[in-house]
Chain A
Amino acid sequence: MNALMGFLEKYMLPVAEKIQGQKHLQSVRDGIILAMPLIIVGSIFLIIANLPIPGFSHFMAGVFGADWSKKFSYPINATFSIMSIIVCFGIAYRLAERHKVDALSSGAIALSAFILSTPQVLMFTPEGAKKAIEVPGVIPVTLMGSQGLFVAMIIALFSAEVYRKVIQKEFVIKMPQGVPPAVSKSFTALIPAFIVLTIVWIVRLILEATSLQDLHHLINLIITTPLSFLGGSLWGMLIAVLAIQLLWCFGLHGDAIIVDSLMAPIWLALMDQNRQVYMANHHADLPNIITAPFYNIWVTAGGSGLTLGLVLLMMFRARSKQMKQLGKIAAAPSLFNINEPAIFGTPIVMNPIMMIPFILTPLIVVLVTYFSMASGLVAKPNGVLIPWTTPLGISGFLATGKISGGAVQIVNLIISILIYYPFLRLYDKQKYQEEHTPSQTNESFDGSVNV
């Protein structure tokens, strides 16, 4: 077993290093992180606008006027609906920063390129009219939100790469000495900006001449749709969860590696599709189950591997000193979904007994949650994004606006307790025996794990 572990560790660590160290993936992650606080703030307004309290709507109408829910949509539209702008700027900024070239210019150029790739028209059907008319002079907000996310990502990466290549090749306008640095900098940005915008412009002209219309249509066709199909499927979720749990089993931060670097844009876009449908009609059937909150709120309730159940067992059922002590240490953080104490203290890492329920539990919870939502028993995530540190029960309620969202978390907690129970018993018994075999106590406590 140890040889196998050593073998896997040898090959897993470099893969994790590669995924997490990859400059472009890192920058995409940073760009998305930049938009997160805004989306969470927008979510607060979304939650308030939809509080399922009788009489609340009447009360709000009294305070804000009859169209109060429209007024609450203003901040939602300025956060959720422009996430691609923020992400585009953030990615180009961070990527330039990683290459040690001027980040602010890079961000500005990418933003301009993103708008350039977007047709500034809107199809609008006036009341009573049969045909839609083209309204010029607008930036279509629909493409600035989650729908434009992949275009924003690609444009930002492309723009920042061209920018830094041009700068680093010193193909820039050099100013004589004595020119203030800011002036020189603005000229420096000219050539790369010109190159980036010209390329994006030509691409737009070419696409316009074909049936593909524009970059948004093209990317949607060849990237967004297939990725959403794979990442948004039940299988996609199961495979992602399996990979995340395996990484944790080797003591590596699976969530940071798989979710933040790879899955976040896909799951976020799927979440926002739900939000758009939900805002248009609260009683509509929401299109997606697999979304960012599905993972953050249900699959990792109590921490990756749903270890809150394990920690509760340690507190109330364990006999060995080590497990009892760990239960006390790990309980409070686990309530807020932080479970490094459980993962490294038990340890689950490199522990053949505890790895089994650690991998099994979240997979079962994915299935239970998925099918309870698919069958209509539990409400689907309505597109609200809340901090992942929100305790279970509350988080499920907030992310769906329905009690059932929290209730299924409690059911999942019970499932996790049932799965962990036999394994913890076995492991706890081992620990108990070690503690009561005087000569070996210290040695086994320190030497049982070699990471």
Chain B
Amino acid sequence: MNILLCCAGGMSTSLLVTKMREAAEGKGMEINISAVGLNEVDQHIDDADILLLGPQVRYKLVELKKLTEEKGIPIDVINPIDYGMVNGKNVLEHALTFQK
């Protein structure tokens, strides 16, 4: 499974990536997690199975939803508190609920 995270510059989501990877390792799961800036979503969306937005760029949800619907993958905004506390475990579990 490939999880793609996105925020304005891909900076703060990269914090979360580290914690999510730790959580995934803890579960013994093989999951690819990466973070990109808004500009790069187009280039990375093809490899993604789910797109998660940082809450601060949720104004992009409507626009990016068109893209993810084209690709047939789910999209969601990360819970702000989990985002702030860099709670990789919660965000990972949230992402996994979308898994078919």
Contact = CB atoms under 8 A, between A and B. Distances in A.
A391 to B, nearest CB: 14
A252 B59 contact: yes
A251 interface: yes
A344 B8 contact: no
State the majority secondary structure of interface residues on B: helix
A340 B39 CA distance: 19
Nearest to A451: B80
Given A251-B56, A253-B56, A256-B38, A345 B11 contact: no
B68 to A, nearest CB: 15
Interface of A: 13, 16-17, 20-21, 30, 33, 248, 251-253, 255-257, 260, 325-326, 329, 333, 338, 340-347, 349, 389, 446, 449, 451
Contacts of A17: 59-60, 62-63
Contacts of B12: 333, 338, 340-341
Contact of B58 (A252, A255, A333): A252
Given A326-B84, A343-B56, A344-B81, 5 more contacts: A20-B59, A256-B9, A333-B12, A338-B15, A389-B11
A257 B38 CA distance: 12
Contacts of B84: 326, 340-347
B7 interface: yes
B95 to A, nearest CB: 18
B18 to A, nearest CB: 11
Contacts of B1: none
A114 B66 CA distance: 34
B91 to A, nearest CB: 12
A389 B58 CA distance: 23
B56 A252 contact: yes
A300 B9 CA distance: 16
Interface string B39-52: 10000000000000
A21 B86 CA distance: 27
Contact of B81 (A33, A252, A347): A347
Contact of B80 (A21, A30, A253, A449): A449
A247 B62 CA distance: 18
B19 to A, nearest CB: 9
B55 A338 contact: no
A446 B85 CA distance: 12
Contacts, number: 87
Given A344-B84, A349-B80, A21 B60 contact: yes
Nearest to B60: A20
B15 A446 contact: no
B15 A333 contact: yes
A341 B15 contact: yes
A344 B15 contact: no
B66 to A, nearest CB: 11
Contacts of A13: 58-59
B85 A345 contact: yes
Interface in B55-93: 55-60, 62-63, 80-81, 83-86
Contacts of B8: 253, 255-256, 260
A391 B12 CA distance: 16
Nearest to B54: A340
Contacts of A343: 56, 84
A114 to B, nearest CB: 23
A69 to B, nearest CB: 34
A259 to B, nearest CB: 10
Contacts of A333: 12, 15
13 contacts: A13-B58, A16-B59, A17-B62, A20-B59, A20-B60, A253-B57, A340-B84, A344-B55, A344-B84, A349-B55, A449-B80, A449-B81, A451-B55
9 nearest A-B pairs in the assembled complex, by CB-CB distance: A345-B84, A344-B84, A340-B12, A253-B56, A16-B59, A256-B8, A344-B80, A17-B59, A451-B80
